[in-house]
Amino acid sequence: MTSCSPPSWESSSSIFLNDITPIGLGVLDDQIWISDGDNNRVMTLDMSGEILKTYDEIERPMHLDISDGKAYIPSYGSDDILIIRGDDIDTLSVDVEFEAPAAVSVSGTHIAIADFYNNRIAISDGSSWKSVGKKGKGPVEFSYPTDVQIFEDKIYVADAYNNRIQVLDIEGNHLQTIGEDQGMNAATGIYTDGVEIYITDFEHDRVLIFDMEGKVLQIIDQGLNKPTDVLLHNGKMYVTNYKGKYISIYEK
Amino acid sequence: MKYLKIILIICSVIGLTSITEINAQKKGDMDKFTVQVDGLGCPFCAYGLEKKIKKLEGIKKVKIDMEDAVMTFNYPAEKELTMEAVEKQVDEAGYTAVGTSVVRADGTVEKNELKISDKINQNRVVKASIPVAGTCGMCRARIKKVTRGIEGVVESDWDEDTQILTVKYDKDLTNPEAIEKAVAGAGHDTQNVKASDEVYENLPACCLYDRKSYN
């Protein structure tokens, strides 16, 4: 009888970023989008790491998102969400106040924003906004959320300093808490494809991979240096390394 | 007549000095502050410091060099902001200023660096290892600063992996109880002294260690 366990992710290659300190990561039309927080800029690169375009003077850009051909950039420094399309930069109109937006996720008409200092998640259904959460350790309580992703009808939150993942429904109600027992220290970047959930463990230089029920499938703890964000693209896993200034690429 | 001339000369000198001071500190002139902030490893906390410092009235632009952990900003000279006030603001925001300098608008330079007390007698120096809770480089910076600020402490360091504070001190000037109290006052639970909830909650995000350790 053969084992049915899924194949593991294996280190494949790296993209070195020179003076870029990567925090957020996105992909659009085979171009990598990176928020370079330390240098107050957002950059696009080709898949080999060659810089294509730089958007300067964006105050501390964080976990960005790509949707419908546009890049959504949370500016942690100016408390704005910027929308970039080509050379045009607009500001997203938001009806709730937030302080230090650390991440934005856009899916159809829905938008979710990680409101870092208010310990809340701002949610829009396309017509109105509301905020859910407060500081704490219980359900729908957060300790400085740093990343969000809307996937289908759920919101996945990197509840950074509670060292866990929280899954909410699209209205902001608690569904699931994942990874509390994994000894993470700063769960900073989150991604899901609906099959697995990926989270970066910043201080411990790890990426943890869970199934949708919260069971650990794999822990990557080699070759990372202060990872901040993770995503899948064309069957590969990309991880930004803030301190190391490189993107780690993994394949199954 | 001779005394009158002397008085006139003194008045002229005082008058010139005042004019020079007014010229040096006229509206628009800026003092340039440089603050070495220890333990800035996490971007979320570092950028938070920047936001908090910007809330000081009069500051328009703060620059943080993450590689060198140096924060610089300009401040209106006529407000006479002191280095102590800047360090207090940084410390109250939960960060650790370990050295501050300012180039005043008139060109004078001031520096604020930690000095070890001259009352210390090396023959009385002993070593202690004290369990202290923390999580990161910023915790280490804070614990080091608060302990080195205690009269009688010669050296101190905290290890993130072992969660142990190692401290050398003059036993006639301080003791482990006082050291633990000071560390707890900065937000870190020690083996025998628990930090207040209020101070703990004000620590930067990445310093929020697991409090179960000393319950």
- Burial of residue B85 (CB within 10 Å: 0-12, 13-18, 19+) is middle
Least confident of A161-175, A225-239, B71-85: B71-85
DSSP letters along B101-156, please? Answer: EEE-TTS-EEEE-----TT--GGGEEEEEEEB---SHHHHHHHHHHHHTSTTEEEE
Q: Residue B15 — very low, low, confident or very high, per pLDDT cuts 50/70/90?
A: very low
Shortest CA distance from A162: residue in chain B? B208
- Burial of residue A62 (CB within 10 Å: 0-12, 13-18, 19+) is buried
Residues of A in contact with B51 (CB under 8 A): 76-77, 99-100
Q: Which ipTM value was assigned to this complex?
A: 0.84
Q: Average pLDDT, stretch B29-36?
A: 91
Q: Residue B38 — very low, low, confident or very high, per pLDDT cuts 50/70/90?
A: confident
Query: Domains (ranges, CATH) in chain A?
Result: 27-218 (2.120.10.30)
DSSP letters along A141-207, please? Answer: EESS--EEEEETTEEEEEEGGGTEEEEEETTS-EEEEE-GGG--S-EEEEEE-SSEEEEEETTTTEE
- State the best of A99, A115, A203 to mutate against chain B, taking most chain B CBs within 10 Å: A203
Q: How far is A6 from chain B (nearest CA, A)?
A: 34
Q: Which one-letter DSSP state was computed for residue B46?
A: H
The pLDDT of residue A39 is 92
Q: pTM value?
A: 0.82
Kindly report, residue by residue over A52-66, the tens digit of the pLDDT: 999 999 999 999 999
CB contact under 8 A, B44 and A38: no
Shortest CA distance from A61: residue in chain B? B47
- Nearest CB neighbour to A144, from listed B66, B136, B205: B205
CB contact under 8 A, A77 and B48: no
The pLDDT of residue A1 is 44
pLDDT of B8 over the 80 cut: no
Query: Domains (ranges, CATH) in chain B?
Result: 29-112 (3.30.70.100), 122-214 (3.30.70.100)
pLDDT of B79 over the 60 cut: yes
Shortest CA distance from A187: residue in chain B? B206
Q: Residue A2 — very low, low, confident or very high, per pLDDT cuts 50/70/90?
A: very low
CB contact under 8 A, B205 and A143: yes
Q: Average pLDDT, stretch A5-14?
A: 88
* CA A98 – CA A94 distance, rounded (Å): 9
Residues of B in contact with A159 (CB under 8 A): none
* CA A87 – CA A99 distance, rounded (Å): 27
Number of helices (H) and strands (E), helices first, in chain B? Answer: 6, 8
CB contact under 8 A, A226 and B47: no
The pLDDT of residue B103 is 95
CB contact under 8 A, B43 and A242: yes
Q: Which one-letter DSSP state was computed for residue A222?
A: S
Query: In one letter, which amino acid is A163?
Result: N
* CA A71 – CA A91 distance, rounded (Å): 11
Which positions 97-156 of B are in contact with A (Cβ < 8 Å)?
A: 135-136
Task: Give the number of A-B residue pairs with CB atoms closer than 8 Å.
Answer: 50
Q: Which one-letter DSSP state was computed for residue A1?
A: -
Kindly report, residue by residue over B161-208, the tens digit of the pLDDT: 999 999 999 999 999 999 999 999 999 999 999 999 999 988 888 888
Kindly report, residue by residue over A95-116, the tens digit of the pLDDT: 898 999 999 999 999 999 999 9
Torsional sign, CA B64, B69, B73, B79: positive
The pLDDT of residue A150 is 98
- Joined together, the tokens standing for residue B111 give 């520096």
Query: Does B9 lie at the interface with A, CB-CB under 8 angstroms?
Result: no
The pLDDT of residue B112 is 78
Give the residue from A226, A231, A232, A219 showing the smallest Cα distance to A245: A226
Q: Residue B213 — very low, low, confident or very high, per pLDDT cuts 50/70/90?
A: low
The pLDDT of residue B39 is 66
Q: Where are the alpha helices (DSSP H) in chain A?
A: none
Q: Which one-letter DSSP state was computed for residue A50?
A: -
The pLDDT of residue A4 is 60
Three-state SS at B55: coil
Exposure on the CB side of residue B151, measured as CA atoms within 13 A: 4
pLDDT of A13 over the 50 cut: yes
Q: Average pLDDT, stretch A63-70?
A: 96
Q: Residue B19 — very low, low, confident or very high, per pLDDT cuts 50/70/90?
A: very low
* CA A99 – CA B68 distance, rounded (Å): 26
Q: How far is A142 from chain B (nearest CA, A)?
A: 11
Query: Does B71 lie at the interface with A, CB-CB under 8 angstroms?
Result: no
Q: How far is B58 from chain A (nearest CA, A)?
A: 17
